Amino acid sequence: MTEAVPAPAGKTWTILELLRWTTGHFESRGIETARLDAECLLAHVLAVDRLRLYVDFEAPVSPKERAAYRELVRRRADARIPVALLVGSKEFWSLPFKVTPDVLIPRPDTETLVAAALDLLPDGGPGATVLDVGTGSGAVAVAIAAERRTAHLVGTDISQAALEIARENADENGVGERCTWEQGDLFDPVAGRRFDLIVSNPPYVAEKQRSELAPELAHEPNAALFAGEEGTEVLYALIDGAAAVLSPRGWIAVELDPSQADGVARRLAGAGFRDVAVRRDLTQRPRVVSARRED
Ligand SMILES: C[S@@+](CC[C@H](N)C(=O)[O-])C[C@H]1O[C@@H](n2cnc3c(N)ncnc32)[C@H](O)[C@@H]1O
C-alpha cells in the first residue's frame, strides 16, 4: 500500500514539494514516467495545464486539493491505473479524447496510421469515404476527419460502449456531422458498401506475451489488445475481407506490431493487393502497412 503523501501537522505543501515527493514515490514503485505522471495528476486536480505548475512552483496546495491528489497518487501507484484513465482524457493528434475503461487509450504510435491515411487522401480532393475498423475512442477516425474536411468517416467496433465514447469524441472535436458509428464484427456492419480507404488499428498483441505485459494494460479492454496466439488473427481477417468493401483502387492501411509487418505485407500481396508499403514510426520501427486494391 502507498503511504499517504506525508503531511506533518501545520505544514504547507507547495506544488514543487508535492511533485518531488510523488516523483520519488512513483520511482520507488517502478513507474518509468514518474515525474510526468506526477505533473499530469497534480495539474488535473488543480485544473490547470502542466506549464502552469512550473510558473507556480512555490504556490501552496490546499488540504482539499491535496486529499484529491493523494487519492489519485494512491490509485496510480497501487492499482497501476494509467494516468489517462485517472484523469479521463488523452491527447492524440493534438486533439483531446475522452477515455474510459471501455476503450483503448490512444497511443502515440497510432499517429503513424493517421499520417499514412492523410498521405493516401489528397487534401482538397472530393469527399472520400473512410472506414475505421475497431475505432475504439474514435481517435483515428476523428483525427482524419479533422484534417480532411470533406471526408466522410464510418467507425465500427465490436463494442457498443466504445462507440458511445467515439461519438462523444467526434462531437467534442467538431467533426460529428461527418462521422457515423456502427457496431459489429469486422466488416459485418458495412457489408455491401464501398470505401475509398480502410484504416484499422486492430488488437494485435499475442496471447503468448500476456504474462510479460505492463500491469497498466490490465485496465484496458481485452478485446482491444489481444488477437490470438500470435496476435495476427484480426489483422489477417481484415486483409481477407477488405477487397469486398473497397472501391476499385481503394486503399487499406493497418497498424501492427513491428514483428508482424513482413507477414502482413506477404498476406496483402498474396490477396492480390498492389503497392504494398511499410511505414515506420518515430522510433523507426515498422508500424503501418498499406496497400491498394487492384481494379
Ligand atoms: C487496438 S484498439 C484501437 C482503438 C482505436 N482505433 C485506437 O487506435 O486507439 C482495437 C479496437 O478494435 C475493437 N475490436 C476488436 N475486435 C474486433 C472485431 N472483431 N471487430 C470489430 N472491432 C473489434 C476493440 O473493441 C477495440 O476498440
Q: Taking the complete model, does pTM exceed 0.85, yes or no?
A: yes
Ligand 1 centroid to residue 277 C-alpha, Å: 23
For residue 1, what pLDDT band results from cuts at 50, 70 and 90? very low
Report strand pairing: 129-133 vs 95-98: unpaired
Helix (H, G, I), strand (E, B), or coil: what is residue 248? Answer: strand
- The total number of residues shown for the chain amounts to 295
R_g (Cα) of the chain, nearest Å = 21
Ligand 1 centroid to residue 231 C-alpha, Å: 13
For residue 2, what pLDDT band results from cuts at 50, 70 and 90? very low
CA dist 81 and 66 (Å) reads 19
Tens of pLDDT, residue by residue over 6-42, are 555 568 999 999 999 999 999 999 999 999 999 999 9
Residue type, 213: L
Tens of pLDDT, residue by residue over 265-277, are 999 999 999 999 9
Nearest CA to ligand 1 atom 2: 224
DSSP letter for 294, please.
-
Tens of pLDDT, residue by residue over 64-115, are 999 999 999 999 999 999 999 999 999 999 999 999 999 999 999 999 999 9
Nearest CA to ligand 1 atom 6: 135
Nearest CA to ligand 1 atom 13: 134
For residue 209, what is its C-alpha cell?
506475451
Ligand 1 centroid to residue 157 C-alpha, Å: 6
Enumerate the β-bridge partners of residue 133. Answer: 156, 200
Nearest CA to ligand 1 atom 17: 158
CA dist 126 and 216 (Å) reads 42
* 131 pocket-lining for ligand 1 (C-beta < 6 Å): no
* 250 pocket-lining for ligand 1 (C-beta < 6 Å): no
